[in-house]
Amino acid sequence: MEPMGTYVVLDDGSLLVDGNRKEYPKEKKEWNEWMIFNSDAEWENFMNDKDDLTSERNQQHLMQFLNGYIKMCEQQTSQQATINWVLTSVDVTDGFKSAYRKFYTENPEPDFDPVLTAQDCPQKIELESIGLTDYYFTFSSSEIDNYLLVTKVKRVGDIWLVDGCGVINIPKEKISLANK
């Protein structure tokens, strides 16, 4: 990777990039070191926590989808109604919708729920871990022994949408690792 330019930290704490003054550090101190951003957009993302998957705002679509799906499951809606709900959800990516549709085309009467990877519907799930570099979230349920649900999010524009959940768009090895 080639350097993007020359960087000089000035006495007043501002940053000089290729001879142009940038007034970046307005509080948000991370590790008390300078972080180099290649663009103003990267800086804005950092300052507004757009890439911070631990923030409630960036988990919003994931939690809306999971809570809505569990509610559908609890209400014991028909399989077709659940499929329609998922395919019209604004909380999932088009890639997720395609994989979900493909799953049901290949498995018209599955013996388990492909999103929850379970036969029984958990009433409550708890966040176990967040993969800050690979964008995988793992959830558990105290109601079902050894239950782990693996999900994945993908950034689409300025929002994080569900791109994988259960066996939909989640690699088998990721599911296996979570259940060890």
Q: Are residues 33 and 88 in the same domain?
A: no
In a domain, 1, yes or no: no
Q: Are residues 111 and 62 in the same domain?
A: yes
Q: Are residues 34 and 117 in the same domain?
A: no
What's at 83, amino acid-wise? I
In a domain, 105, yes or no: yes
Q: What DSSP letter does each residue of 33-90 carry, written as one string?
A: S----SSHHHHHHHHTTTT-TTSHHHHHHHHHHHHHHHHHHHTT--HHHHHHHHHT-S
Domains of the chain: total? 2
pLDDT > 70 fraction of the chain, expressed in percent and rounded: 66
Q: Are residues 20 and 101 in the same domain?
A: no
Residues spanned by the domain of 67: 56-178
| pLDDT at residue 133, rounded to an integer | 81
In a domain, 2, yes or no: no
In a domain, 165, yes or no: yes
Q: Are residues 84 and 32 in the same domain?
A: no
In a domain, 140, yes or no: yes
pTM over 0.75, yes/no: no
Q: Are residues 135 and 153 in the same domain?
A: yes
pLDDT at 178 over 80: no
Q: Are residues 163 and 92 in the same domain?
A: yes
CATH code (residue 125): 3.10.450.50
The H or E element spanning position 98 is helix 94-106
The number of C-alpha atoms within 13 Å of 126 and in the hemisphere containing its C-beta is: 8
SS3 153: strand
Q: What is the CA radius of gyration of the chain?
A: 21
Q: Residue for token digits 């493909």? A: 102
Residue 109: band (very low, low, confident or very high) from pLDDT cuts 50, 70, 90: very high
Q: Are residues 93 and 163 in the same domain?
A: yes
Give the torsion through C-alpha atoms of 131, 135, 140, 146, to 10 deg. -80
Q: Are residues 13 and 61 in the same domain?
A: no
Q: What is the pLDDT of residues 129-170, one digit of tens each?
A: 888 788 899 999 888 888 889 999 998 988 889 999 999 999
| pLDDT at residue 51, rounded to an integer | 65
Q: Which residue in 48, 26, 46 sits closest to 36, CA to CA?
A: 46
Q: Are residues 129 and 158 in the same domain?
A: yes
Q: Are residues 13 and 76 in the same domain?
A: no
Q: Are residues 112 and 38 in the same domain?
A: no
In a domain, 142, yes or no: yes
